[in-house]
A and B are shown apart, each in its own frame.
Chain A
Amino acid sequence: AQKVTQAQTEISVVEKEDVTLDCVYETRDTTYYLFWYKQPPSGELVFLIRRNSFDEQNEISGRYSWNFQKSTSSFNFTITASQVVDSAVYFCALSAYNAGNMLTFGGGTRLMVKP
């Protein structure tokens, strides 16, 4: 069975602070994909990034960066210089080849960025 844990249910920061959202996953598969999705207050789900299990390179996109570490089964997401528009619920998700590529979501982290 596969599992995704987002231990931080809520995080509150002040604008311009850096914030890291943790994601820890479990799978026995060696081939898998990790995703992050954002759910702003309007409710839609927006894809942010996908990473496959064979690519441990960190990725940076503007103020967003992702740190994938297979040794600790983690795929953490950092927002640098947070802004109010970053306020949202963020979901980490995992799909593994031998689990039929079913996408398993973590419980989500609600990020509140205060002005």
Chain B
Amino acid sequence: EAQVTQNPRYLITVTGKKLTVTCSQNMNHEYMSWYRQDPGLGLRQIYYSMNVEVTDKGDVPEGYKVSRKEKRNFPLILESPSPNQTSLYFCASTVSPGYSPLHFGNGTRLTVT
């Protein structure tokens, strides 16, 4: 089954404790992206990747890192999480950004206390 898999679904952590949210897709998509969803703000792009070893900032990259060492994986790293990063995070992939629909993972709800 074609899918984007994110883990974990729920994560509670404390300020400053590094964490990684994993994302993997099995559709051989070159484009992958991370979004955060906050009430009233919709989804805002954090980082995206056009291909292996190619990543770029989205609208809200501060406090986040990503890497794209393999085509299928695109982890999101919070080196020193802060409470304002409490949010619902989605990973997505597509064959052609802007034209083709995004395939989303099921989301990761992160709480930073």
Partner of A91, one of B43, B99, B106: B43
Check if A101 sits within 8 Å of B101, measured CB to CB.
no
Q: Contact between A106 and B58 (Cβ–Cβ < 8 Å)?
A: no
Please give the distance in Å from A57's CB to the nearest CB on chain B: 18
Q: Are A44 and B104 in contact (CB under 8 A)?
A: yes
- How many chain B residues sit at the interface, stated as a range, is 20 to 34
A95 at the interface (CB under 8 A from B): yes
Q: Which residues of B contact A47 (CB under 8 A)?
A: 101-102
* A-binding residues in B (CB < 8 A): 33, 35, 40-45, 48, 58-59, 88, 90, 92, 97-99, 101-102, 104, 106-107
What is the CA–CA distance of A43 and B106 in the complex, to the nearest angstrom?
7
The complex places the Cα of A94 from the Cα of B45 at a distance, in Å, of 13
Interface size on A, residues (CB 8 A): 23
Q: How far is the CA of A58 from the CA of B1 in the complex (A)?
A: 32
- Contacting residues, chain B, for A60 (C-beta < 8 A): none
Whether a CB of chain B sits under 8 angstroms from the CB of A33 is: yes
Closest beta carbon of chain A to B40's beta carbon, Å: 5
Q: Is B98 a contact partner of A102 (Cβ separation < 8 A)?
A: yes
Task: Chain B residues near A45: list those with CB within 8 A.
Answer: 43, 90, 92, 102, 104, 107
Leading 6 A-B pairs by shortest Cβ distance: A101-B98, A105-B42, A95-B98, A47-B101, A45-B104, A105-B43
Question: In the bound complex, what is the Cα–Cα distance between A93 and B94 (angstroms)?
Answer: 15
